[in-house]
Amino acid sequence: MTMTTVPPHKLRYSATAMSLHWLIALMIVVGFYIGWIMTDIPGFTPTKLKYFSWHKWIGVTIFVLAAIRLAWRLTHRAPALPSGIAPVQKLAAEAAHMILYLLMFAIPASGYLYSSAAGIQVVYLGIVPLPTLIGPDTALKVVLKTVHIWLNYTLLTLVILHVLAALKHQFVDRDGLLARMIPFLK
């Protein structure tokens, strides 16, 4: 019986998938950071308003890139997980990835709707006015703000778990799983 080896390019995500992953990850970190500091600035200063704009632009960009990433993922099969990974871990990984995708859409959408309910139109990059989907609504504004905040904390928790799981695979299991998404790892 002969053993077949899997070609290296089948063990890794494509360059497009890796690029989208890391670009969105970076934007999520920056968006979260800006969101964190902008809410601590008292009043309505020019700096606070600038941070709010940047935060919204990042959110819109993440939403668009997530749509591209999802389309790519639906048309390009992910590399198989190593055979030694327990079925419960595979299930947890799939569930975590599905929730991460959901959050990449739900968080920008909730922020966008929150802005609309607050009566503030989102103007992408200060140039392109985006449609207002709902009118000003004080009660809905409070609900959407709360939803947006809790979705972000959910994302933060899931990202921390995602990173810890990746590090566990790299340094404890030593199964090469992390190399699937980092171009320079072997």
Domain with 44, as residue range(s), is 11-180
CB neighbours of 62 closer than 8 A, spacing ≥ 6? 24, 27, 28, 31, 104, 107, 108
Q: In the prediction, which pLDDT does 74 show?
A: 95
In a domain? residue 3: no
In a domain? residue 6: no
pLDDT-derived band at 11, boundaries 50, 70, 90? confident
Alpha-carbon span 163 to 166, nearest angstrom: 5
Alpha-carbon span 135 to 141, nearest angstrom: 10
In a domain? residue 127: yes
In a domain? residue 186: no
pTM over 0.75: yes
Alpha-carbon span 27 to 108, nearest angstrom: 12
50-83 pLDDT, tens per residue?
A: 999 999 999 999 999 999 999 999 999 999 888 8
Looking at the structure of the chain, the number of domains it has is 1
DSSP 91-135: HHHHHHHHHHHHHHHHHHHHHHHHHHHTT---EETTTEEPPP-S-
Which residue's entry shows tokens 């790519």? 72
Read off the tokens for 102.
Answer: 């959901």
CA-only gyration radius of the chain, Å: 19
108-160 pLDDT, tens per residue?
A: 999 999 999 999 999 999 999 999 999 999 999 999 999 999 999 999 999 99
In a domain? residue 2: no
14-54 pLDDT, tens per residue?
A: 999 999 999 999 999 999 999 999 999 999 899 999 999 99
Alpha-carbon span 81 to 126, nearest angstrom: 43
The letter for the amino acid at 124 is Y
pLDDT-derived band at 4, boundaries 50, 70, 90? very low
Crossing angle of the two packed helices 87-117 and 46-75, in degrees rounded to 10: 140
